[in-house]
């Protein structure tokens, strides 16, 4: 008998892995709502809700490819060769849904360090990744596609003065079978502190 990778919540957390190559179908509209709602449960010091998401689907994905790739080329990034552009366009054209990720910078807040706001936005994004997996889809967090080129986030309505852009999630159905990931043992990353040495 095959046990579903999402049979229990803990099993789902342990089996999530990133899937870069995706195709249609994307999560259905009601599923996408559940996925985005999961982000709202992220830990959040001061209830600043510092996360913002931009849903990009359908014909807008081709427009995103145009905007992002042109901006990267204008920036003079030598890695954006014609071959690279072709492969990024091909990859993007197969992905049915992108979610732009951003942290809204709380300029006036003196109590919650910006680092904590960034962490909250990261936690919200992690909830999205897990929710996508729990619903049987795949996702991949990328900081390609001009994430660090200001024109790209500005084109998405995320003024670089007010938002730190955190990249894109590609979301869809895995294009091929996804073998389990090889994960390290937690004990290599954990110590127990029992008092001052």
Ligand X SMILES: Cc1cc2nc3c(=O)[nH]c(=O)nc-3n(C[C@H](O)[C@H](O)[C@H](O)COP(=O)(O)O)c2cc1C
Residue 52 interacts with ligand X (CB under 6 A)? no
For residue 17, the minimal CB distance to ligand X (Å) is 3
Residue 142 interacts with ligand X (CB under 6 A)? yes
Dist. CA 47–CA 136, nearest whole Å: 30
Residue 168 interacts with ligand X (CB under 6 A)? no
76, 180, 182 from 72: Cα distances, Å: 7, 34, 33
Which one among 51, 137, 140, 163 touches ligand X, defined by CB under 6 A?
140
Binding region for ligand X (CB under 6 A) out of 31-39, 64-72, 83-91, 137-145: 137-145
Buried residues in 135-157 as b, exposed as e (16+ CB within 10 A) = bebbbbbbebbbbebebbbbbbe
CB nearer to ligand X: give 1 or 176. Answer: 176
CB 146 within 8 A of CB 76: no
Residue 18 interacts with ligand X (CB under 6 A)? yes
Q: Is the dihedral of CA 82, 96, 60, 149 positive or negative?
A: negative
Binding region for ligand X (CB under 6 A) out of 31-39, 58-66, 135-143, 155-163: 135-143
CB nearer to ligand X: give 79 or 111. Answer: 79
Residue 143 interacts with ligand X (CB under 6 A)? yes
């Amino acid at each position: 008998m095959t046990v579903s990778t999402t049979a229990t919540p803990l099993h789902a957390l342990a089996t999530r892995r990133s899937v870069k190559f995706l195709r249609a179908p994307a999560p259905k509209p009601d599923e996408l709502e559940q996925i985005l709602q999961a982000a709202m449960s992220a830990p959040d010091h001061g209830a600043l809700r510092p996360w913002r998401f931009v849903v990009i689907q359908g014909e807008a994905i081709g427009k995103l490819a145009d905007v992002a790739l042109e901006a990267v080329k204008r920036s003079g990034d030598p890695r954006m060769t014609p071959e690279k552009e072709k492969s990024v366009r091909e990859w993007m054209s197969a992905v049915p849904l992108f979610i732009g990720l951003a942290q809204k910078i709380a300029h006036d807040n003196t109590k919650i360090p910006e680092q904590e706001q960034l962490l909250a936005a990261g936690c919200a994004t992690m909830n999205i990744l897990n929710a996508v997996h729990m619903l049987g889809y795949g996702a991949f967090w990328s900081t390609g596609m001009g994430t660090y080129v200001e024109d790209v986030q500005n084109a998405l309505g995320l003024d670089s003065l007010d938002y730190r852009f955190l990249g894109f999630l590609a979301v869809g159905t895995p294009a091929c079978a996804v073998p389990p990931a090889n994960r390290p043992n937690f004990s290599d990353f954990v110590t127990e502190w029992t008092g001052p040495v």
